[in-house]
Amino acid sequence: MGDIRTLAGTSPATTASALVPGPDPMVPRRYVITRVRQDTRDTFTLLLDPADGAPPLEFAAGQFTMLHAFGVGEVPISISGAPLEHTIRNVGAVTRALVEAAPGTEIGVRGPFGTTWAVDDARGHDVVFVTGGIGLAPLRPAILDVLAERDAYGKVLLLYGSRTPDDILYGDQMRRWADLNGVNVQMTVDNAPYGYKGRVGFVTELIAKAGFDPRNAWAFVCGPEVMMRSAAQSLVARGVPKARVRLSMERSMKCGIGLCGHCQLRELFICVDGPVLPWERLEPLMSVREL
Ligand SMILES: Cc1cc2nc3c(=O)[nH]c(=O)nc-3n(C[C@H](O)[C@H](O)[C@H](O)COP(=O)(O)OP(=O)(O)OC[C@H]3O[C@@H](n4cnc5c(N)ncnc54)[C@H](O)[C@@H]3O)c2cc1C
Ligand code: FES
């Protein structure tokens, strides 16, 4: 099943003897969990180092890996930081095994897979990140890419929503981005206890009044599907071109490399055509509820 890479300088029509097998994308590489950080009640960040001592995998913002808890199963999780961090919400058997693993435990990692946020395309423009709950984790590497070259971009906004104040992810980091990097961070929660001083309401409600130039903006959106659909519609209603609104899709996955069809969304295989896709491509698919 290993993919085949041609040797440098040879044509694609070269003979089999001049071909070398690449690493098999179905074989997990062993990594050691070096640290587990609890972010919220049910969400944890795993820091990983390769068990073989070789450099960790290289990735681009937006890509995901298949994480394998040996003896339990394998799940797709977006990369949330370098050299290799994954932020995981405990929702079922495999995610529970991963977040409950003690430092020193070995897990398997395949990838990185999938398309990227490609935030470079937004250089010279305003950038609006719209995200809800754990959706901030897949966006974090894109936000850090923008902040690493802050002067290359116009206004940078981060509109973030969570279910309750206790579910806010990376709260300290968001405050730092606002204070040190000039990011306009606006937070809201769906529900709050009596006396809560922050904003209450859905994150999509922030889009209408947020201070950016829609015709000059790019938007990067990640969160539950219903929230992403509504966010994309609000961004387009304000005048952001559909091709400049990118979303990260989630589907059930098995292989991660376009073989099994588990992640199919009509003509798209989300593991290879996505997870990051433009709204102009997704709009007709996301308005059909059964797909
Ligand atoms: C490209 C991609 C990136 C992802 N990135 C992250 C991430 O950064 N952090 C993170 O915590 N999770 C992420 N997920 C979701 C994660 O893969 C699922 O939560 C995980 O597969 C659940 O497995 P489980 O065995 O723990 O739970 P299961 O027992 O399989 O499922 C528990 C519950 O979660 C639901 N569920 C399962 N898989 C998904 C899914 N793909 N999307 C939505 N609901 C699902 C089930 O319907 C069920 O209600 C990502 C998914 C994809 C496809
Ligand atoms: S997960 Fe197998 S085709 Fe996408």
Distance from C-alpha of 64 to C-alpha of 79, rounded to nearest angstrom? 5
Instruction: Name the token pair of 181.
Output: 């990097």
Does the N-terminal peptide bond of residue 284 adopt cis geometry, omega within 30 degrees of 0?
no
Residue 32: closest CA among 54, 15, 14, 47: 47
Distance from C-alpha of 250 to C-alpha of 274, rounded to nearest angstrom? 9
Residue nearest to atom 34 of ligand 1 (CA): 91
pLDDT at 21: 64
pLDDT digits 0-9 by tens, 193-206: 999 999 999 999 99
Distance from C-alpha of 90 to C-alpha of 251, rounded to nearest angstrom? 17
Judged by its nearest atom, the ligand closest to the C-alpha of residue 80 is 1
Task: Write down all domains in the chain, each with its CATH number in brackets.
Answer: 4-113 (2.40.30.10), 119-248 (3.40.50.80)
Judged by its nearest atom, the ligand closest to the C-alpha of residue 78 is 1
Strands (E), the chain: 4-6, 19-21, 29-38, 43-50, 64-69, 73-78, 85-89, 106-113, 126-132, 156-162, 184-189, 217-222, 245-248, 264-265, 268-269, 276-278
Ligand 1 binding pocket includes 88 (Cβ within 6 Å) = yes
The yes-or-no verdict on residue 19 having pLDDT over 80 is no
Residue nearest to atom 28 of ligand 1 (CA): 92
Contact 253, 270 (CB under 8 A): yes
Mean pLDDT, the chain, whole residue set: 92
Percent of the chain beyond pLDDT 90? 90
Ligand 2 binding pocket includes 249 (Cβ within 6 Å) = no
Residue 133: closest CA among 208, 203, 34, 217: 203
Give me the amino acid identity at 25: P
Instruction: Name the token pair of 70.
Output: 């040996």
Distance from C-alpha of 126 to C-alpha of 207, rounded to nearest angstrom? 14
Contact 22, 3 (CB under 8 A): yes
pLDDT digits 0-9 by tens, 221-240: 999 999 999 999 999 999 99
